[in-house]
Each structure stands twice: as structure tokens, then as C-alpha cells.
A = this chain, B = another copy of it.
């Protein structure tokens, strides 16, 4: 195989009480990436979208991952990649993780699957570091593996795939800017022990709920007493969205990643659609442009897709 086309899914990280450790993959939105193996150590990037992301490999999230993959593979090959980004940068839906994880998996496919999952995550984290300044894996891991994943520890790497409950996910992306770096900076370095205890009770309940597919326990455990109260002030309409969606029957939800997107989990598509209607109504009234997705949890992660090959000849 010397060329491959993949879908790389959007993801929800910082899953409510699971700040920095829990994430899930979405079936929508996703990026498309097309890779071709080159016989010289170089990275060529084409964008097939309107986000004007850098094509200099040193400045591009997928580019730095591909460069690292070349080095890891011995330095005698290269990659040409065309990226069609559908996950908006800055949405809080793992746009940079999709590029980074997609690049790691794409390179691995063209190199005969020589990297382990841990190595793929390590490679992709180089892209996340470029994007946000921090090596975090809670978008990358569900992006690569699908489902709901736990990052128990980054040093040493310890990834635990948890489950893929049959839940519907509604996401609203209000078109405001929340920079990941700002969202990190606003957090307090210390938290009250009594709040931390509440949080770890909720995490434990959420993990048990996901593993048992116990919707009521999932719903009771979807509570974040530490991060959300601080970060939600950066997102106009957050409290209203959360309260009305809960009242409409959503199991619960919160900030996706570091925002501004908000996600809600629901048991049925009908509720997920009602939740979408509520989100649209609130942001229309407030006067903020927005996108809404009604989707399900993706259980495959980055995957090869067929279809017309559109890569520009180099």
C-alpha cells in the first residue's frame, strides 16, 4: 500500500468529571485525510478546506507528527497528505487531535502497521503539544481507538478502553473563541479536598455506569464540581443550555474539551433531537452563530475509507 484515505473523528475530552482522563469519539463531525508514501524524507501538506492552516510541516499539527513518524521509521521515507478538515479548529471537538491522530494512524498504515497503540498515542501527542502547548492524550486516545477511553496515566502511558454505551450525543458549537491556553490558565492550581472527593466519587460512578451501561448511574455521575464552575463562565448560555437539556431528558453533559462546544448525552434519538432544538433556540435568542450535531458514540476510531481519490499530484 502506498496511499490511503482515512476518516478521523471528532472527540469530546474532559468528559465532565473526567478532566484530563476521559474522552469519547463522535461519529460526526470528522476530518478526511489522504496520505501517499514518498521515497524521500519530506512532508508535503495540502489543505482542502477553508481554514487556512499552515502547510509548513513544522507549523502543522499533522506535519510534526509525520516528521516524527519518518524519524522513528529510520528517515528514508516521506509523506504527502491532503487534509479536508471538517472539525472546526477551536471548537473544543478535538480538531487538532483528529489531525494528529489521523497523521499517526495514516503513517502507520503506509509503514505496514509497525507502531503499537502506545506509540501511536505518543506520536500524536507531538501534534497536540504544537496545538496547545501541552502533551495531552484524552482526545487522541478515543480518536484512535473509538469508544470511551480512560487515560489512567500519561507517564507511564496507561490507556484503558472502557466501553461504547449506546448513547446519543448532541453537540452545540457556539461560534465564539475560547483558547485552550486561556481555558487552562483560568483553572486554580489548588482545589478543596472535599470537592476532589466529590469529583472522584463521580468519576468512579461514571466509569461503573459506562461499564454496566447503567443510564441512571451515568446520569447521576455526570457532575463536575471543579472545572466546570470555573470554565463555564467563558461560555455564554452554558447554564441555561445545561439546565434546559437536563429538563428535556438528557442524561447530562458539559463542556467539550476546553470549550466552547457543549455536549449532552441522551438515551434516545428523540431526546437528542429535542436537546438540539433547545441548543439552537438558546443561541439564536442570544444571537451567537452556532452549529449543532446530533450523533452517536463512534466505536471504531480512525478508519480507512474508500471513495474517489482526490490527492493533488506532487
- A residues engaging B (CB < 8 A)? 17-22, 150-153, 158, 160, 162, 187-194, 196-208, 211-212, 217, 220-221, 226
Which residue of chain B lies nearest to A198 when distances are taken between CB atoms in the complex? B153
Please tell me how many copies of the chain the complex holds.
2
Establish whether residues A192 and B193, one from each chain, have CB atoms under 8 Å apart when the complex forms. no
CA distance A241 to B18 in the complex (A): 32
Cα of A211 to Cα of B19 in the assembled complex, Å: 22
Q: Which of A22, A188, A194, A208 has the most CB of B within 10 A?
A: A208
CB-based nearest B residue for A21: B201
Q: Which of B150, B191, B193, B197 contacts A201 (CB 8 A)?
A: B150
A208 is contacted by which of B162, B196, B202 (Cβ under 8 Å)? B162
A153 to B219, CA, bound (A): 13
Closest to A187 in B: B193
| A21 to B17 alpha-carbon distance, docked (Å) | 15
Complex contacts, A150 vs chain B, CB 8 Å: 201, 204-205, 208
Q: Given A17-B200, A160-B217, A193-B190, are A208 and B207 neighbors across the interface (CB < 8 Å)?
A: yes
- Nearest-CB distance from A81 to chain B (Å)? 33
Task: Give complex CA distance A236, B202 in Å.
Answer: 33
Q: Which 4 A-B pairs give the minimum distances between C-beta atoms?
A: A152-B205, A190-B190, A196-B196, A21-B201
Given the known interface contacts A160-B205, A205-B158, A208-B160, the answer about A200 and B199 at a Cβ–Cβ threshold of 8 Å is yes
Chain B residues near A226 (CB-CB < 8 A): 193, 196
CA distance A202 to B226 in the complex (A): 17
- Some 29 contacts from A to B, beta carbons below 8 A apart, are A19-B200, A20-B197, A21-B200, A22-B204, A150-B205, A152-B201, A152-B217, A152-B221, A153-B198, A153-B202, A153-B220, A158-B205, A160-B205, A187-B193, A189-B194, A190-B190, A190-B191, A191-B191, A191-B193, A191-B196, A193-B226, A196-B196, A196-B199, A196-B226, A199-B200, A204-B204, A204-B206, A204-B207, A208-B211
